[in-house]
Amino acid sequence: MDQDYFVQLSQLVQLIESSLFNNIRVLLLEPVKNIYLVKTLYGILMLLPQGKAYQALAKRMKSIEMLMQIDNEMVSKENKEEIDMDEIDYFIKIFCNTHFVLKSTK
């Protein structure tokens, strides 16, 4: 990789940060749904030398990491609620069956 390659990568990051790519940055609000975009940006970040472009993209990617953590917490919370509902349904069935047995023996 030569100097021209790094200059082109820096220009790409400047384009991504410009208003022309607002729609791309909006997609980053849902990183789980756009995981290949996120991975591509991480790939660009890994190739960039430390500098202004690196700092700008690193800051953007740090925000995406926070969004991914929030999404993961929400998914795990939803899964926990589903498990809780399954347990509640199970106990309701047991209660109904026990109630039916007790009622029929009277």
Residue 24 has pLDDT above 60, yes or no: yes
pTM above 0.75, yes or no: no
Parent domain of 26: 3-105
- pLDDT tens-place string over residues 25-80: 888 888 888 888 888 889 888 988 888 999 999 998 888 888 888 777 766 665 55
Indicate the number of domains in the chain.
1
Direct distance between the N- and C-terminal alpha carbons of the chain, in angstroms, rounded to an integer: 86
What pLDDT is attached to residue 104?
Answer: 53
Q: Is 57 exposed, middle or buried (0-12, 13-18, 19+ CB in 10 A)?
A: buried
Look at 11-15, 52-56, 63-67, 95-99 and tell me which has the smallest mean pLDDT: 95-99
Pick the closest to residue 27 from 19, 18, 38 (CA basis): 38
What pLDDT is attached to residue 83?
Answer: 52
> In this predicted model, which residue has the larger pLDDT, 84 or 66?
66
